[in-house]
Each structure stands twice: as structure tokens, then as C-alpha cells.
């Protein structure tokens, strides 16, 4: 797998709109990279690209009728999703920020008592925030990508992105420390 740099030519192949494809796109952006997406939904789509032999040689496809989606072309080499994620982890996070400082995004689920308590505390302290329900498809991929990028495997609500710091069920003191 070639080293990844902002100049690396990356093409990813996967079903458009799928959670995995959207998460992958967010992870690529978080590392300051860009990629060209190619919509692939079926073996027929792959066969029309005439790349099956290369996919099998690279281990991306087990056989002509068993391809693991999504997969990527990095420079001139096909790689699996897992192989690419390992290479991405070597790069620092660079484009995680939502907007200019200070900002806060609160991720939670409707009617969660912990999220509601945190929101009341934020409102009483006068800190500005944006609330995002992780069950809303508009936010699900970014939230999942944030967890992966920050290597968080356990979640308690709420999860807050405060100026690029991902905080899980933080205290108000912790929130204030990062909200400067």
C-alpha cells in the first residue's frame, strides 16, 4: 500500500448512499485527502469496468462472483477497505472541524435523559451548540466516522464535538475547557 499524502490519487468503488460508503468518504476528508467515488452496486457494474482480474490478484475479490465492497484504487493499486483504513490511521486528523472556533456539536438520541440534562446545562451556561440526532440519516455517517477516527468503541450519551475534540458524556468543566 503506498503512503497516503494529499496528492495521492484515490478512487473508491462502492454503493452510492450506503452507510459504509458515506463513512469512508468522511474518513478520507478527515485526513485532508480527497477521493473520486465510482458507484458500484453489483458484479455487473464491476464487470463493465473490466477490472475483475486485477481485483482477484489484489485480494479484493475472492472470485469473479464474490467482491468485497467497498474497495479502493490507490494510485495504481487496488486495496481492500480494511487495508485502506489501516493506512488512513497513520495520518493525523486534519479536517474534522465543523466550523470556525468556537463550535460545539452535541450528538445524542431523542428522549435520552443524559442528552436532555446536558442540553439544559449548556443552555443555562450560555454556550452555543448544534444538536444532532444520530438516528437522522443526515448525521449518521459523520458521527460514525468521528468515532472511528478518534478510535472510540464505547459510547455513552451525549457525545460532543467541541472544537475538534470528541468528548463522551463530558462534565460541564470538560466542555468549557475545550470550548475556548
pTM (2 d.p.): 0.81
CA-to-CA distance for 144 and 139, rounded, in angstroms? 9
Residue ranges, CATH 3.40.30.10, the chain? 10-88, 104-178
* Alpha-carbon distances of 35 from 11, 21, 47, 159, rounded to whole Å: 5, 12, 22, 28
Q: What confidence tens digit (pLDDT) does each residue in 8-45 have? A: 999 999 998 888 889 999 999 888 899 999 999 888 99
CATH architecture of 104-178: 3-Layer(aba) Sandwich (3.40)
Q: What confidence tens digit (pLDDT) does each residue in 53-104 have? A: 999 998 888 888 888 889 999 999 999 999 999 999 998 887 666 667 788 9
* Cα distance between the two ends of the chain: 39
How much is the mean pLDDT over the chain?
90
CA-to-CA distance for 70 and 14, rounded, in angstroms? 4
CATH topology of domain 10-88: Glutaredoxin (3.40.30)
Strand pairing class (71-74; 77-80): antiparallel
Amino acid at each position: 500500500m503506498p503512503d497516503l499524502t494529499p496528492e495521492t490519487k484515490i478512487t473508491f468503488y462502492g454503493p452510492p448512499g450506503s452507510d459504509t460508503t458515506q463513512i469512508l468518504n468522511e474518513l478520507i476528508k478527515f485526513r485532508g485527502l480527497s477521493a473520486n467515488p465510482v458507484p458500484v452496486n453489483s458484479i455487473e457494474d464491476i464487470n463493465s469496468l473490466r477490472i475483475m482480474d486485477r481485483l482477484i490478484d489484489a485480494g479484493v475479490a475472492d472470485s469473479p462472483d464474490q467482491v468485497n465492497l467497498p474497495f479502493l484504487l490507490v494510485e495504481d493499486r487496488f486495496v481492500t477497505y480494511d487495508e485502506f483504513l489501516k493506512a488512513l490511521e497513520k495520518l493525523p486528523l486534519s479536517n474534522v472541524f465543523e466550523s470556525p472556533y468556537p463550535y460545539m456539536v452535541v450528538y445524542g438520541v431523542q428522549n435520552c435523559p443524559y442528552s436532555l440534562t446536558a442540553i439544559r446545562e449548556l443552555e443555562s451556561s450560555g454556550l452555543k451548540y448544534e444538536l444532532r440526532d444520530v438516528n437522522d440519516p443526515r448525521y449518521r455517517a459523520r458521527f460514525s466516522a468521528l468515532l472511528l477516527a478518534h478510535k472510540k468503541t464505547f459510547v455513552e450519551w451525549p457525545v460532543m464535538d467541541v472544537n475538534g475534540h470528541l468528548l463522551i458524556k463530558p462534565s460541564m468543566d470538560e466542555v468549557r475547557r475545550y470550548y475556548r
